[in-house]
A = this chain, B = another copy of it.
Amino acid sequence: MLGRFQIRTDLALEARESFEEDVKIRGVRVEEEENEELEIRTTTVVIETENGAKTMGKPVGTYITMEAPNMSMSDEDYHREISKELAGHLKKLMGEEEKSVLIVGLGNREVTPDALGPNVVNNIRITRHVIQEYGAAYPGGEKMNAISGIVPGVMAQTGMETLEIVKGVVKETQPDLVIAIDALAARSTRRLNRTIQITDTGINPGSGVGNHRNGLNEQVLGIPVIAIGVPTVVDAATIVNDAMENLVSVLETENCVENYQLIREMIPSHLNTMYVTPKDIDETVKRLSYTISEGLNIALQLTAGKGEHTQG
């Protein structure tokens, strides 16, 4: 209830869920797929019209969400099976032809739940400089796209908008595609660290810890932007709001309904400057960044070379 008016989520999936299951939303198509063996549930939300975009509060485009409860668990293989699934979705959105790709690791490497993007870039096979020197099939390596990577940092560290930095680098180095990785804020703690959203609509830098910036997307950069996001935090205000909602739903059955307004006012405003995250977030983010970087490394090869078997 309250949620509908003040929902705060980076996941299209959750935006959709804020409406009753059975309600059909104009201009929004939803497909679900269950892989029982791998325990991965994939939901594709396609926002097809501006009207659908308005209702959902998200731009027109495709949002693929992989939910895998085990993702945040330890695994010697860093969940190779999820990396491969991710690679498949990326290839669909990227297309097959050769491309030069700039990987942007958004977020603050000094804040554990926000370090996902920077960590992923650390594990990407960077090839652009090698290819510029030796050509696409460089010594020993399978044929690769030209991959570059950057960790722009956050405004408090640079004094610049992330967008200003990425824009400048894109103009100078002329990649064909940007893939941005970011930590997201989820609506529900249930989703933390077990959900990957892949979208062709780009994202808002720093949205992982909630401060709004200019969009990182095709309109702004002039080239396609694929965004990979994992929710690692929930806004502190949200978890209080949730508890309140439950309470209200109970109180409705009684005669305390006039408390709605009161309740909303009761959420301390300073909670908007705070986030909630699990205590073992350091290990989780470390593992997730391997899973995602491997997905990228596989997707970015031109030929199904040795990489297909990378670490697997």
> What is the interface of chain A, defined by CB distance below 8 A to chain B?
73, 76-78, 80, 108, 110-112, 125-130, 140, 146-151, 153, 155-161, 164-165, 167-173, 189, 209-211, 236, 239-240, 243-244, 246-247, 250-251, 254-256, 259, 262-263, 266-268, 270-271, 273-283, 286, 297, 306-307, 309-312
Contacts and interface: CB of A to CB of B under 8 A. Distances in A.
Nearest to A131: B159
Given A77-B310, A189-B268, 4 more contacts: A76-B311, A128-B160, A148-B158, A189-B270
Contacts of A129: 155-156, 159-161
A2 to B, nearest CB: 13
B274 A274 contact: no
Given A110-B112, A240-B240, A259-B250, A164 B160 contact: no
Contact of A170 (B110, B155, B159, B168): B168
Contact of A311 (B77, B110, B173, B306): B77
B156 A236 contact: no
Given A243-B244, A297-B76, A150 B165 contact: yes
Given A148-B158, A160-B128, A110 B282 contact: yes
A282 B111 contact: yes
A149 B158 contact: yes
B159 A168 contact: no
Given A172-B167, A311-B77, A312-B312, A189 B274 contact: yes
A211 to B, nearest CB: 7
B189 A276 contact: no
25 contacts: A73-B140, A76-B297, A76-B306, A77-B306, A77-B309, A126-B159, A127-B159, A128-B159, A129-B160, A149-B157, A150-B158, A151-B153, A165-B172, A171-B171, A189-B270, A189-B274, A236-B236, A240-B240, A243-B266, A243-B268, A250-B259, A250-B262, A251-B256, A274-B276, A274-B277
Contacts of A244: 243, 247
Contacts of A161: 129
Instruction: Name which of A246, A259, A311, A312 has the most chain B CB atoms within 10 A of its CB.
Output: A311
A312 to B, nearest CB: 7
A282 to B, nearest CB: 4
Given A126-B159, A159-B147, A276-B275, A173 B164 contact: yes
Contacts of A167: 168, 172
Contact of A278 (B130, B168, B256, B273): B273
